[in-house]
Structure 1
Amino acid sequence: MAFYYEVQFNNISAENSEILIALLSATNTNGIEELDNSLKVFFNEADFKEEEIAGMAGTVQAAYEVKKVEEENWNRLWESNFNPVTVENWVAVRADFHEPITNVVHEIVITPKMSFGTGHHATTYMMLEQMQQLEMTGKKVFDFGTGTGVLAILAHKMGATDITAVDYDEWSIENTRENITRNHTGGIKLIKSDTAELDQRFDVILANINKNVILDNMEILARELEPGGTIFFSGLLIEDEQDIVTAAQKQGLQLVKIAERNKWLFINMLKP
């Protein structure tokens, strides 16, 4: 039986929750759950380092608790707390135990396991929201940091014909594969990797990950984007704006749009 560590930071403000999420994005978390005045984070046994947790808690002066949780119980917890997400009348994300949502253009059904990207978090919500502005028919799409696969699945539903989804985490790859099957969106290529280096070219790149990973891969992402292509960045705090825009512009990308939701950032860049 596999075990996971559940860390709960208690009595924290929304601002400190955002700081913790930014710090945690540089670690190998298996899931983050935002609650009222608290934050739950899950790690597998190999990636759990309590000294790192203690340091993060000290940064925001937060108390925390650690519990060891069986994999089966972790999944049951996710299911009990997972509610459908609807982005306008554009797209809905729900679990298979929810009733169908029919008043949207696209519906995505996922299994709410240990992958980040259910649509609840502001960054995934903004990516889903902004994708309705794209013409995807026949396009080649790269989903970097796929999580649950929702962005790749939506791209497929929108008509993209060549989609590659990458994540460094084996659980995310497994979860995405299951979600692809559940949504009848076969043909999405899944790759386990911690880099964007694919030696391919794409019309659209979706990078909902975190600042450090984006900056480390900016040159690669810019090179892999076709001229006239679009790249969406998220997983960013509002204070990350200048660093991301400056790094993208150094690679010849042009700023198209910036959006904000709950102090999280979305950036759209274009390759001329």
Structure 2
Amino acid sequence: MDDFWEVLNIEGNLDEAEILFSKIQNYCLGSFIEENLTKIYLSIESKNEVTNVLNNLELPDTINLKWEKIDNEDWHLMWKENFTPVTINNKINILPDWHFKDDINDSNVYIRPGMSFGTGHHETTSLMVESLIDYSNNEFSLLDLGAGSGILSIVGSKLKYKDIKAVEFDIECKDDFYFNAELNSCSKDIEIFWSDVLDWNDFSYDLILANIEKNIIKKMIKNIENTNARFIFSGLLVEDKYEIEKLLTKKNFKIENFKSKNEWLLIDCKKI
């Protein structure tokens, strides 16, 4: 794990900052918003790739970008000062690890804010958790593609999903994933595979989650063949709706629901 983080500060219009974030979220290890400033945290190795992405975008005049570098200690202090618990549908509470009490409560999910994205604060994570709650009475098997911190797999375990598999490519997430699963007493319920989601070809699950960057979702859709699974896609912007809807229809998916929060979109669909 690096001793330092690269931080991209986006100052200005929050809606434009959200759109820019969606273009680089695949490299993001965490984010934080205060007033009109969005901070995006990246590994040192990712800076050049993100810079290349930014150089190929037409950035609006309403935002300004600035790079800085912070150490891990400053990151954790910032989270302790600013992390607020999240309650979703009065069913699941997302809490920081320092609030942990030695009692097993299926309503509480404890997450260590660290070198992986996924603390329940982002709209796409919240939308995904809402969907997990919606389908939690069905005893579904669950596949979590792009698992990150493990938050969705852990919520699935708390909601009594079965045969939970998680797939994640970024090894920076390993420490946080294992820590969070152990802290929530879910390690025995979740099997993790450190692999590229685009190499995954087993879709024999009842519910499949993919909260990933749009271009990866597009490639994934093209690779999915016969399956009875229900797919929940997020990591998408509302402006992506028509493009993804067209691709899903072409690949014989039936879209059953669209949900959105602010600029972010979730698609609930099945292969037909």
Q: TM-score range by the shorter chain?
A: 0.7 to 0.9
State the distance in 2 between where 1:219 and 1:66 align.
36
Partner of 2:211: 208
Please say if 1:25 is aligned against 2:25: yes
State the distance in 2 between where 1:175 and 1:183 align.
12
Matches within 5 A, 1:166-185: 166-185=167-186
State the distance in 1 between where 2:54 and 2:256 align.
40
Give the drift of 1:155: 1.1
Decide whether aligned partners of structure 1 residues 94 and 56 sit closer, same or farther in structure 2, where only a CA change above 3 A counts.
Answer: farther
Matches within 5 A, 1:133-172: 133-135=134-136, 138-172=139-173
State the distance in 2 between where 1:172 and 1:250 align.
34
2:142/2:165 contact within 8 Å kept: yes
1:143/1:165 contact within 8 Å kept: yes
Partner of 1:189: 191
Q: Match of 1:37, as an amino acid?
A: N
Partner of 2:200: 198
Decide whether aligned partners of structure 1 residues 160 and 99 sit closer, same or farther in structure 2, where only a CA change above 3 A counts.
Answer: closer
Partner of 1:234: 234
State the distance in 2 between where 1:54 and 1:209 align.
19
TM-score (normalised: structure 1) = 0.88
Q: Match of 2:265, as an amino acid?
A: L
Q: Match of 1:194, as an amino acid?
A: D
Deviation per residue, 1:153-211 (Å, 9 max, x gap): 11112222211112221122321111110111123111222324333222110011121
State the distance in 2 between where 1:161 and 1:99 align.
25
Partner of 2:129: 128
Give the drift of 1:29: 2.3
1:79/1:112 contact within 8 Å kept: no
1:108/1:153 contact within 8 Å kept: yes
Matched residue of 1:30: which SS? strand
Matched residue of 2:6: which SS? strand
The two structures, once aligned, show a CA RMSD in angstroms of 2.4
Matches within 5 A, 1:1-272: 2-10=3-11, 12-26=12-26, 28-49=27-48, 51-52=51-52, 55=55, 59-61=59-61, 62-98=63-99, 106-135=107-136, 138-187=139-188, 188-200=190-202, 201-220=204-223, 222-223=224-225, 226-227=227-228, 229-272=229-272
Matched residue of 2:130: which SS? helix
Decide whether aligned partners of structure 1 residues 173 and 247 sit closer, same or farther in structure 2, where only a CA change above 3 A counts.
Answer: farther
State the distance in 1 between where 2:220 and 2:51 align.
28
Decide whether aligned partners of structure 1 residues 260 and 199 sit closer, same or farther in structure 2, where only a CA change above 3 A counts.
Answer: closer
Q: How many residues align?
A: 265
Decide whether aligned partners of structure 1 residues 71 and 116 sit closer, same or farther in structure 2, where only a CA change above 3 A counts.
Answer: same
Decide whether aligned partners of structure 1 residues 127 and 243 sit closer, same or farther in structure 2, where only a CA change above 3 A counts.
Answer: same
Matched residue of 1:94: which SS? strand
State the distance in 2 between where 1:231 and 1:54 align.
31
State the distance in 2 between where 1:20 and 1:196 align.
24
TM-score (normalised: structure 2) = 0.88
State the distance in 2 between where 1:51 and 1:185 align.
37
State the distance in 1 between where 2:173 and 2:4 align.
17
Gaps of 5+ in 2: none
State the distance in 1 between where 2:29 and 2:235 align.
15
Give the drift of 1:56: 7.3
